[in-house]
Chain A
């Protein structure tokens, strides 16, 4: 239990996929203009990550990993090179399925998250989390916790960024630095803050 908690805290703060591994910056910049949309996208990312990370774990360890097809009579087969194409297909399919289910059962949630779901299919944070999950040899339970933790960390970062951008809207930024450059500097300061959690051991 303690291990899982520490994995969660680690993926939220120290190994934040956005601020430590630079994943999902495209949508981080595009969607952090208002807090409401940032929260919506953040929730959608948590949801999709918590679902895709374990699904990809099952597919990888059941079909693609070296020796995984031993039950089908191919003990030496190593299909792990197919992981990129499989994961991206799983993610696109999951996003589509999630969109349909939400649309059917919760129109209110769909109205909030709907527009963001297609964006997520090509968000590198989602693919990156699945690839990290394989590279770090997580177990099934760890893959769920890691997915949820990464999503939470991503949401925390984008919502804080939206809040900061609201505060600095009328700030007098030097000409030329205004806009994209300024956001990157703020992100750098945020990354420094998140790194301060690295002293915590549970």
Chain B
């Protein structure tokens, strides 16, 4: 049992930090940025993506001996699309406002490269339990970046943290202004660029090939 736990822990750590999807595999950024204006939408998006990643790993891995290899992409997309439909329906039923704000971006989880990438690279070759943990780990790694971007965009762009104003009034009185650019699209690009720079400069950052 001890060995099993450390085995899962290793898969988790690998997915969350060492091979963090956004920074090193350059995957899944597509839908990551448009929902990061506010932390609440980013959080819901993160939870949705993590669950879809975990369960698609579980299902695809359970079916891996049954799927003919030449139509595997279609099968994988169908499994993922079905999970996304379930997620979207749940969001519309219980979190209608946030589901409206996320608009098409929940649907775009289908084409998120992280999920299909993990299905191809991991779930097809490993057992269901490992694949589930791997999906969750990669989802959490992605969520971490997403929440970090949302944190800076909401803090700098509208002076709030989860919708609560955190920058005291006297700072505004002294002449501080919210940075409008952070709420707009370019802000997300800048933040993600700077975060990657930060992560590469931390000890243990992997130096990747020069492009």
Contacts and interface: CB of A to CB of B under 8 A. Distances in A.
Contacts of A85: 78, 81-82, 85
Given A127-B111, A176-B200, A185 B193 contact: yes
B85 A191 contact: no
B190 to A, nearest CB: 4
Tell me which of B28, B187, B200 has the highest count of chain A C-beta atoms within 10 A of its own C-beta. B200
Interface stretch (B101-109, B124-132, B155-163, B170-178): B101-109
Interface stretch (A20-28, A35-43, A50-58, A146-154): A20-28
Contacts of A4: none
B91 to A, nearest CB: 12
A128 B81 CA distance: 14
B104 A179 contact: no
B34 A22 contact: yes
A32 B197 CA distance: 20
A142 to B, nearest CB: 17
Contact of A122 (B113, B181, B187, B189): B113
A131 to B, nearest CB: 4
A167 to B, nearest CB: 14
B185 interface: yes
B200 A195 contact: no
Contacts, number: 134
A88 to B, nearest CB: 6
A97 interface: no
Contacts of A185: 189-190, 193-194
B150 to A, nearest CB: 13
B189 A24 contact: no
Interface in B79-105: 81-82, 84-85, 88-89, 103-104
Chain A interface residue number, banded:
35 or more
B62 interface: no
Given A22-B30, A26-B113, A132-B104, A81 B85 contact: yes
B63 interface: no
B205 A176 contact: yes
A135 B78 contact: no
B104 A131 contact: yes
A177 B197 contact: yes
Given A88-B110, A124-B108, A127-B108, A182 B30 contact: no
Contacts of B194: 181, 185
B77 interface: yes
Contacts of A127: 107-108, 110-111
A120 to B, nearest CB: 11
A184 B27 contact: no
B30 A184 contact: no
Nearest to B190: A188
Contacts of B188: 22, 188
A180 B190 contact: no
Contacts of B208: 179-180
A123 B209 CA distance: 25
Nearest to B86: A81
B81 A184 contact: no
Contacts of A131: 104, 107-108
Nearest to B33: A22
B22 to A, nearest CB: 9
Interface of B: 23, 26-34, 74, 77-78, 81-82, 84-85, 88-89, 103-104, 107-108, 110-113, 116, 181, 184-190, 192-197, 200-201, 205, 208-211
A-B CB proximity, top 6 nearest = A188-B189, A184-B193, A181-B196, A176-B200, A131-B104, A185-B193
9 contacts: A26-B27, A29-B26, A81-B89, A84-B107, A180-B211, A185-B189, A187-B189, A191-B185, A191-B186
